[in-house]
Structure 1
Amino acid sequence: MIDAIFTRCEGAYSDNTLRGYRNDLKHFKAWCDGHDMDWLPAAPQTIADFVDTQLETKAISTIKHRVDAIKFAHRMADLPSPTDNSVVYLALRRARRARHRRPKQSAGLTSELLAKIVAACPGTLSGKRDAALLSVGYDTLCRSGELAAMYVEHLNADCSRIRVPVAKSDPFGDGRIAYLSTATATRLSAWLSAADLHEGPLFRGLHTRQLSNRPLDTSSIRRLIKAAAKRAELEPATVRSLSGHSMRVGAAQDMMLAGVDMIGIMHAGGWKSHAVLSRYVENASAELMHERRWEGLKVLNAA
């Protein structure tokens, strides 16, 4: 039944979305089978009980995603959604109140950190790739999945602009144009020249120093970021906190500190929601606010 649902959805949703929903539904179905309950259609009380038991070991974000997957399955089966019932709503409320934890935020790879990491990239083929990828990720505010989807054909002639072909907030692939700094364009040109790339995936893997025809996947990009940060001798805690979102977070924080308004940052990074962006930049804006407060107090105390 699960396979039938997702076969219908191929091409209408991204592979990552379908993969996540499929995995969540497998967990829910297994739980229902173990408790002798129907999973499709599922009774509201069944989902509420599932939420209560999941709370013992899972984060609230995981629980919410699994409830979304259950709602998705009912919609694709043309069944009324049991997740809209008050019993499920109250179970999710209990879960949120029991777990007073904010979503974990990746560390921001700011321009300061980027400069240190890029400076430590060697002049090898992989080093040129890493420097180019990190710089493009920062300038475009892209997630790792968006970097993996970039092709040489998305660049303009002088590497000053690139079309971001897909994004989490752009499910239909309308794309957006992102602008690259002179430094990034130079690093990107160096990578393209060294790899002799004229078409196809922009950022590729290397095996025994041989260039792959396939793009780097998201897990490889995450490992690349951490390895480059470690090579730059950043603090171990900083290395651990970096992720495939770090360039996006760091660039947004830098833009906030530079005085760019929220609308400008949203446009640059392709955000659709103020709430999501606010979580990215709140630490940077709060720090700036306190720095200005302390500077103001120094002036007052000196008077």
Structure 2
Amino acid sequence: MDQMISKSVARPSDELALLEAVAHRLDRYQRLAQGAFSPNTLRAIKADTAVFQAWAAETGHSGALPLAGDTVAAFVADMGEDRKPATVSRYVSSLDHLHRAAELPPVGPTNAVRLALRTLRRDKSTAQKQAKPMRRAVLETALADMTNSPKDLRDAALLSLGYDTLCRSSELVAIRVQDVTRHPDGSGRLYVARSKTDQEGAGSWRYIAPDTLARVVAWIEAAGHDEGEPLFLSLGPAAKGGAISARDALRIFKARLGVDYSTHSARVGGAKDQLDGGVPIGKLAESGGWKSLTMPLRYGADALAGQSGAAMLAQKQGRA
């Protein structure tokens, strides 16, 4: 965080006093915030502020806290040339985080920054490219090509579990054997200890269909690993026996489904299939661990159009 404090030999005494106060507050904040944020969050803030500092050095703007609204507005305009509005908004959020850490008013709500972001969103489409969905038919096609080899059993379990539980890649690779439980009816449950929207680690449960549970059990038995070990292990001559990484999971999805797919494809495809199957949007949000309906609504926009008032009226009129 001290990267946000510019160094100079000639500054007025009041400005030097402010810089010293900011440095003291940031140091104190770093001590108090230990363990309060996930490593991914801290890395993102550090990376975002590095982007701003590089821009400030290149353009001759001051990178010292507190940042001027006009400076950050210029940063927004420049970054918007080749970055998505969502990415630029995240940069501003990271700068706001640093301001709050230094007990300074955030720069994001200033008119200059707020209007710069608004202009950027109007100039560019805010719709982000959605991962190609792994619909049920796509999953079935991939599963049909798999054998009983350890690698195929692992990959079949990974894809199927991603589809049923709507887990993110970070959640999938963190699963341990003991997180999967079996129920008398043949179905299972997955305990997700921590997720992107559950940084405090309260945990949540996800449903596993019987056919998916059978694939997970087949993989566990083939791998022969214990309850405390990761569920999805790396395989191959160079493997060290540990859990697969998010990058490994991405490679598996692309190899099994095609280069246009990603680990997020299971989440998107499962969500779309649920809505096409008549699952209420609230139940979908619950099954995928969403805290709001924003993303489920985005994923299911096409399916929800078929359940809209216009669709209901067409059916009542006999036109559908």
Q: How does 1:13-28 map to 2 (within 5 A)?
A: 13-28=37-52
**TM-align CA RMSD:** 2.7
Q: Percent identity?
A: 34
Cα deviation for residue 50 of structure 1 reads 0.4
- 1:38 positional shift: 2.5
Query: Where do residues 252-267 of structure 1 align in structure 2 (5 Å cutoff)?
Result: 252-267=271-286
For the Cα contact (< 8 Å) 1:111–1:254, is it kept in 2? yes
Pick one of 230, 244, 247 that aligns with 1:201.
Answer: 230
Partner of 1:236: none
| 1:192-228 C-alpha deviation (Å, 9 max, x unpaired) | 01111113111121131x7643221112111110101
Structure 2: distance between partners of 1:214 and 1:51: 41
> 1:90 and 1:300, CA in 2 relative to 1: closer, same or farther beyond 3 A?
closer
Normalising by the residue count of structure 1, what TM-score does the alignment of the two structures yield?
A: 0.87
1:288 Cα deviation after fit = 7.2
TM-score by length of 2: 0.83
Q: Which amino acid aligns with 1:244?
A: T
Structure-2 residue corresponding to 1:218: 246
How far apart are residue 149 of structure 1 and its match?
1.2
Once the 2 structures are TM-superposed, how far is the Cα of residue 252 of structure 1 from its aligned partner? 1.1
The answer (yes or no) to whether the contact 2:61–2:71 under 8 Å persists in 1 is: no
How many aligned positions are there? 291
Contact 1:195/1:211 (<8 A) preserved: no
Gap runs ≥5 in structure 2: 5-25
Superimposed CA distance per residue, residues 61-111 of structure 1 (whole angstroms, 9 cap, x where no aligned partner):
111111111011111222221221111101101111111241111121111
The answer to whether the aligner puts 1:246 opposite 2:265 as a matched pair is yes
Residue 298 (structure 2) aligns with: 279
Q: Please tell me whether residue 78 in structure 1 is matched to residue 103 in structure 2.
A: yes
Secondary structure at 2:301 match in 1: helix
Larger Rg: 2
CA contact (8 A) 1:143 1:248 kept: yes
> C-alpha separation between the residues in 1 aligned to 2:226 and 2:70?
57
In the alignment, which of 90, 95, 105 is matched to residue 120 of structure 2?
95
Q: Is the 8 A contact 1:257 1:288 kept in 2?
A: no
- Gaps spanning 5+ residues in structure 1: where? 231-238
2:179–2:192 Cα contact (<8 Å) kept: yes
- 8 Å CA contact 1:143–1:244 kept in 2: the answer is yes
Structure with larger RCO (C-alpha < 8 A, sep 6+): 1
**Amino acid aligned to 1:111:** R
CA distance in 1: counterparts of 2:181 and 2:172, whole angstroms: 16
1:162 aligns with 190
- Please identify which structure carries the higher helix content: 1
The equivalent residue for 2:204 is 176
